[in-house]
Structure 1
């Protein structure tokens, strides 16, 4: 097959991307109240289609909130599924919304910490967690601060969708870095870049089992070393969507005594800080992820 015919074949296989792009751009421009209403409807419609993910979330909530009774956990599960469905629309908002649509949607606390770090010429790891609207928070921070932000992403296995997603992200952000692209991350940081970064998902390598809501969670221990190698500041970055539909973003100064030189202790500090934030708005955390998939030696799977 010639190069021209191969390109034409690829375009034919990806014929659905153009209409998806148009639909995504339209959704991204919806008024906030309408987008959130659509997210609630989507949560209802997707409920029967998310059986496996609902099961993961239900198990996670039972492990992390043993003090809640059955009715309270069921209500939290429904709120989380609604937030997760809404998060899909907020992802489109992050990728496709023009700046005019994002005006007034966010307020940011702690910008002085980011500006001080970037003024010194250092790269910055914005150290957060996997919430249902993480990329939108990064986009909003970029707009409010005027500081270009890179995002760490998981590549999609579908070639056509990945081309669409990557193109949208590159238009919205300063750049993208694949989840396991350590060289790319270090290069961006060493050049003074700002990177939105989270390490709170299940890790099977360079990990330590540390408490998260009282449950041993396999947590990456490499973050302090990455920051050291990239000569970067590590600034905690938290966010949530308020009842009024607006987003509250907060940047903190690097934690005192962190890193400590003990990777496991540093991972435990991260999980402790994250837990405090999650408890404030538990429905907005990504509970549909198998956070406790990897277990300490001798422990059975919690997702059986």
Structure 2
């Protein structure tokens, strides 16, 4: 795609970003139905993940969860546009935050903060909503896109909101930002093939990054769990919690297991809003067959 061809899409995205909340949510649900035949690969991945993680549900219940998850995933794509392009005036009244004082206190101490969370469908929008309340940008760690044109477009959208983004493997850049006292949103719940350990996630061994406590120590930062969901009224409910007991002192594998245990607890509260379309269990322990 030529870069000039993206311009009309950006202008369309700016229009979507300003839609009333109820209209945006309805649009996402409608698109999920309309595009259902085109989402076959992602539906298959989400179905496998849901079947693995919720064996206690009936087949009918798991298929209902799949439909709700695909709707939330499509809404998440629209929420991404809102995160990037909406004016602050369009975000008023959309968020309720518990524990903001924990983040403010860490910042007052001059510490960087790793806001440790997971991949939920509205992650970037909620991060921006939190930043609006905090009064300063929260840096984002992202995976670079393979297309230079798309990457340029994405960075141009993100940078005014989050500041220059940090690449997923840019450890030096992340440490520099934390050492400078900045807050960073961070997730480590996708499949890792390096510095990893297999720990239980919904009872399934999941290849998980083990180095997060070391990143926090080297960054002279604090870790605060950062959870959120969108409620039935379309309001984003955010919780900033105290650090998990024993996490900072645990072995790398134990710390990864604590993270997955805490994440699972939160995902079970609103499972339709987790990013099940990701191949979370792609890497398997030695001798185990492929899942996807």
With the shorter chain as reference, the TM-score category is: over 0.9
Specify the alignment match of 1:245 in structure 2.
234
In 1, Cα distance between equivalents of 2:203 and 2:245: 23
Is the Cα contact below 8 Å between 1:149 and 1:175 reproduced in 2?
A: no
The match for 1:187 among 151, 176, 184 is: 176
Is the Cα contact below 8 Å between 2:155 and 2:164 reproduced in 1?
A: no
Is the Cα contact below 8 Å between 1:190 and 1:232 reproduced in 2?
A: yes
Residue by residue over 1:181-213, the C-alpha shift from the partner in whole angstroms, topping out at 9 and shown as x without a partner, is 111101100100100000000100101100000
Q: Which moved more, 1:29-38 or 1:140-149?
A: 140-149
Specify the alignment match of 2:190 in structure 1.
201
Shift of 1:260: 2.3
In 2, Cα distance between equivalents of 1:249 and 1:52: 31
The match for 1:274 among 255, 263, 266 is: 263
Is the Cα contact below 8 Å between 1:142 and 1:148 reproduced in 2?
A: yes
Specify the alignment match of 1:32 in structure 2.
21
Moved over 3 A (4+): none
Specify the alignment match of 1:161 in structure 2.
150
Q: Which runs of 5+ in 2 are unaligned?
A: none
SS in structure 1 opposite 2:199? strand
Q: Is 1:50–2:43 an aligned residue pair?
A: no
Figure out how many residues of one structure are paired with residues of the other and give that number.
292
Shift of 1:24: 0.7
Specify the alignment match of 1:178 in structure 2.
167
User: Alpha carbon RMSD of aligned pairs, Å?
Assistant: 1.0
Residue by residue over 1:15-63, the C-alpha shift from the partner in whole angstroms, topping out at 9 and shown as x without a partner, is 1121111111100000000000100011112211111111111010011
Which structure has the larger Rg? 1
Specify the alignment match of 1:295 in structure 2.
284
In 2, Cα distance between equivalents of 1:132 and 1:191: 29
In 2, Cα distance between equivalents of 1:261 and 1:273: 15
Is the Cα contact below 8 Å between 1:46 and 1:85 reproduced in 2?
A: no
> TM-score w.r.t. structure 1 length?
0.94
Is the Cα contact below 8 Å between 2:195 and 2:210 reproduced in 1?
A: yes
Specify the alignment match of 2:108 in structure 1.
119
